[in-house]
Amino acid sequence: MFILAPEMTSAPQEMLTAGQVLANQDPKAARKAIAARDNGRLLDLSARVDPRAQLSPVLPGEPEALEVLRHSAAHIMAEAVKELFPGVKVAIGPAIEDGFYYDFDYERPFTPEDLPAIEQKMADIVKKNIAFESEVWDSDKARQHFTAQDEAYKVELIDALDAEEVGIYSQGGFTDLCRGPHIPSTGRLGAFKLTSVAGAYWRGDEKRPMLSRIYGTAFFDRKELKQHLALIEEAKKRDHRKLGRELELFSFHDEIGAGLVVWHPRGMILRTVIENLERSEHLKRGYSMVQGPQILKRELWERSGHFDNYRENMYFTEVDEVAYGLKPMNCLAHMLIYKSKLRSYRDLPLRLFELGLVHRHEKSGVMHGLTRVRAFTQDDAHLICRPDQLEEEILGVMDFVTDFMELFGFEYSLELSTRPDKSIGSDQDWERATSALSKALEASGKAYEINEGDGAFYGPKIDFKLTDALKRSWQCATIQCDFTLPERFDLSYIGSDGDSKRPVMLHRVILGSIERFIGVLTEHYAGAFPLWLAPEQVRVLTVTERADAWAREITQALVDADIRAQSDLRNEKLGAKVREAQLMKVPYMVILGDREVEERQLTPRLRDGKNLQPQTLEEFIAMFKDEEAEPLRRLRQKARQRCQI
RNA sequence: GCCGGCGUAGCUCAGGGGUAGAGCAGCUGAUUCGUAAUCAGCAGGCCGUUGGUUCAAAUCCUACCGCCGGCUCCA
């Protein structure tokens, strides 16, 4: 079934296609294969290889197979678009996490209404089952070809590749610059859907033309596609913007302004629980609590470098002819606290913690629920230490972050970001700071990626990233090394030798922005917060009004025991009350009917629908308190163990 | 900031040049009920805001504001 293509007849006799080699090894698997793997390198089935090569088939179901399929789907989409919209130019079209996209330049942007026609045309191409054919062209030939086709973006890509030869793939009338590999023929694309259109800058540069991007996803069979689309629908139900309204946590208002959160009682109590834990954990880890004002003189922002480097993100105002800036960061007041008295090497490290509300003027198109706002509270701290303490301090912060991530059950990824174009400070300081961070990362043994040029303007940083329900990743914790501010503010301490020395500083947050963190946390738990976090922990439900008095007594006792409890004495059926408590995702319901009144007991019902045995109020409170404290007990235990080592 | 889509009752959504609609929620009444919706009645709207086109605009067009999906930027 694998016949040499005409252009391959000139190939040395002993060469076979990858498909033929696979067929000799395992005919059954070869039939299903969509590409071949040679020592981890992926090949087209049509690639010519040594017959003795040890190849393995890339089979549907493997992640790599899906990537090949989706990349091929992008090519098929590009062919469809070129047929439907003459004059369109194609840019790039890779496979991505959950699908693929292709960027186009056309006389008008594409809209969702264009998608059905493109899908139809793609289906035609799939039905024709056209082979993907690969060739290697001389770069000049490719350049001439795409210039003749008026495909300026492709010509630019060829120039950027700066190679003698480039890979070319064709299926039917569509020829594209591409590294491959691809599925053998268009018929192997089993199920696909175009999902959205969006603008995207050419090569991600906002100074270059905006292209029209079409997103889609593809699978080998329809069932998988359907499952994937269902999964996305499920994820949308976890969206914190939706849950935030349904669970009455927070709101946004046109009248107030974009990106400005209003916290409702249930959201505020959630915040408060988290913030109180932060306070207590910071105090236990050698931090002091401080607080600076919301506005500081512009002059001070000029001194710190914020005015030159961060101005476009700041709000300014004028009072009595003096210019002030609303703080976008908390560090300045902390610098002045440090400077308020003479510091000795014995005083260091000094760890100043502030739950600081900052305002940042974000561009209008970037706001996103709680995860990207214009006013937010950072669990911010500045650690001012001796150079020799730097690495240990960094590790201490990493432990702090790890403890909290484990408490909430988050997975995270780590990134080290290096010096950006727009920055202050000497090369030497940047080098020292970056190496301190990477040393600490190495010492921690955790995996991390390097993000070149993505540091803050004053220093490099380690970022901890979490993912939301729709797999968008958000930066939460960050540790930023800074040699510049101590310099600019002329911070000093007296060393053991009696000389005045310059300390170094770390900016760091654990959860990052409380707002963002609660957004991601809400999606993480799908709104069903664990007992210790739940805004309403217990709802007392009566079967009839004969239980009202007992319900009032119980509710009061629970509230007295610092339990967040409410009663529902409305003249409704129990089923209706249960349903509403369930929708609000209250962890415990307490059911009171004639039986409970008689026995002076209560029947707990869990959020998962399970009922516990009727019990006394005292028993319930004891059980509740134990369960509520458990996660925090574990957190403390771990922290203490580490300190002993 | 850029590209595209969208703003109708507290929420979810119909209506698309000629008097503003539904379900849920709310209010009132009846019902006293055991684990995800009891029944009936009532009320609720500057159709995001501004200009414009038209005899007539929720509906068509401008511009703003906001939201959604991306891009860029970032906690």
Å: A195 CA to B61 C1': 30
Catalytic residue, candidates A44, A178, A271, A378: A378
A236 is an active site residue: no
Which positions on strand B lie below 7 Å from a protein C-beta?
Answer: 1-5, 7, 11-12, 30-38, 48, 65-75
Q: What is the ipTM of this complex?
A: 0.95
Q: Please report, rounded to whole angstroms, the spatial distance between the CA atom of protein residue A572 and the C1' atom of nucleotide B38.
A: 8
Question: Does the pLDDT value for residue A219 go beyond 80?
Answer: yes
User: Would you state the pLDDT for residue A366?
Assistant: 94
> Which pLDDT score, from 0 to 100, does residue A7 have?
42
Contact in structure between A564 and A534 (CB atoms under 8 Å):
yes
**Residue A236 CA distance to nucleotide B12 C1' (Å):** 15
The helix or strand, by DSSP H or E, that contains position A521, with its residue range, turns out to be: helix A514-524
Q: Give which of A337, A304, A339 is closest to A459, Cα–Cα.
A: A304
**Residues A306, A359, A461, A577: which is the catalytic one?**
A461
A102-111, A420-429, A495-504: segment of lowest average pLDDT: A420-429
pLDDT per residue as tens digits for the range A262-308: 999 999 999 999 999 999 999 999 999 999 999 999 999 999 999 99
Residue A49, pLDDT score: 81
* A378 is a catalytic site residue: yes
Protein A136 CA to nucleic acid B5 C1', in Å?
41
B37 C1' to A406 CA distance, Å: 38
Quote the tokens at residue A43.
């090949």
pLDDT digits (tens, 9 = 90+) for A117-154: 999 999 999 999 999 999 999 999 999 999 999 999 99
A643 is catalytic: no
Mean pLDDT in residue range A394-415: 94
Task: State yes or no: pLDDT of A644 exceeds 70.
Answer: no
Inform me whether the pLDDT recorded for A14 exceeds 70.
no
As a whole number of angstroms, the distance between CA A503 and CA A485 comes to 10
CA distance to A76, A168, A208, A211, per residue, from A5 (Å):
22, 16, 42, 37
Predicted confidence at residue A172, as pLDDT, reads: 86
Q: Alpha-carbon torsion A17, A22, A28, A32, what sign?
A: negative
Tell me the nt nearest to A598, Cα to C1': B34
Can A507 be counted among the known catalytic residues?
yes
d(CA A60, CA A66): 7
Distance A256 CA to B29 C1' (A): 40
User: Which of the nucleotides lies closest to A205 (Cα–C1')?
Assistant: B72
A39 has pLDDT over 90: no
Q: Report yes or no: A91 and A199 within 8 Å, Cβ to Cβ.
A: no
Span CA (A55) to C1' (B69), Å: 42
3-class SS of residue A438: helix
pLDDT in tens, A508-540: 999 999 999 999 999 999 999 999 999 999 999
Task: Tell me the C-alpha distance between A593 and A605, whole Å.
Answer: 13
Choice among A178, A331, A385, A481 that is catalytic: A331
The rounded mean pLDDT for chain A is 92
> Which pLDDT score is estimated for A458?
87
| Cis previous bond, A387, omega within 30 | no
Residue A18, pLDDT > 90, answer no
Task: Please give the Cα distance from A258 to A244 (Å, whole number).
Answer: 16
Could you read off the pLDDT of A431-445 as tens digits, one per residue? 989 999 999 999 988
Closest nucleotide relative to residue A595's CA, C1' based: B34
Q: Where are the alpha helices (DSSP H) in A345-416?
A: 390-408
Q: CB of A9 within 8 A of CB of A43?
A: no
The predicted structure's pLDDT at residue A126: 95
If phi over 0 gives left and psi between -120 and 50 gives alpha, with beta otherwise, what is residue A576?
alpha
- Report cis status (omega within 30 of 0) of the bond before A349: yes
Q: Which nucleotide is the nearest neighbour of A465, by CA and C1'?
A: B75
Per-residue pLDDT, averaged over A217-226, amounts to 94
Q: How confident is the model at residue A210 (pLDDT cuts 50, 70, 90)?
A: very high
**A266, A282, A306, A507: the active-site residue:** A507
Whether pLDDT at A448 is above 50: yes
Residue-wise pLDDT tens digits, A569-583: 999 999 999 999 999
Distance of CA A240 to the CA centre of its chain: 14
Distances in Å between the Cα of A238 and the Cα atoms of A242, A356, A526, A637 are 7, 28, 5, 32
Nucleotide nearest to A242 (CA to C1'): B11
One of A105, A114, A380, A468 is an active-site residue; which one? A380
pLDDT over threshold 80, residue A9: no
SS3 at position A609: coil
Whether A380 sits among the annotated catalytic residues: the reply is: yes
Mean predicted confidence (pLDDT) in A503-509: 96
Domains in chain A, start-ordered, CATH in brackets? 6-58 (3.10.20), 65-236 (3.30.980.10), 259-292+330-524 (3.30.930.10), 538-631 (3.40.50.800)
> Can you tell me the mean pLDDT for A588-609?
97
Q: Compute the distance between CA of residue A424 and CA of residue A429 in angstroms, rounded to an integer.
A: 10
Q: In whole angstroms, give the CA distance from residue A502 to residue A485.
A: 11
Between the CA of A615 and the C1' of B35, what is the distance in angstroms? 17
Band (A187; pLDDT cuts 50, 70, 90)? very high
Cβ-Cβ contacts under 8 Å for A527 (sequence gap 6 or more): A238, A243, A246, A247, A585
Neighbouring residues of A488: CB distance < 8 A, sequence distance ≥ 6: A303, A304, A305
Evaluate if residue A5 carries a pLDDT over 70.
Answer: no
Give the residue carrying structure tokens 């920055």. A423
Helices and strands (DSSP H and E) totals, chain A: 20, 32
The nucleotide whose C1' lies nearest the CA of A206 is B72
Specify the pLDDT at position A641. Answer: 82
Put residue A18 in one of left, alpha, beta given phi > 0 → left and psi -120 to 50 → alpha.
alpha
pLDDT above 90 (res A382): yes
Q: What is the band of A10 on the pLDDT scale with cuts at 50, 70, 90?
A: very low
Contact yes or no for A215/A197 (Cβ under 8 A): yes
Identify the pLDDT of residue A77: 97
Annotated catalytic residue: which of A382, A516, A524, A577?
A382
Torsion angles phi and psi, residue A276, rounded to 5: -65, -40
- Please, are residues A222 and A190 in contact by the beta-carbon 8 Å criterion? yes
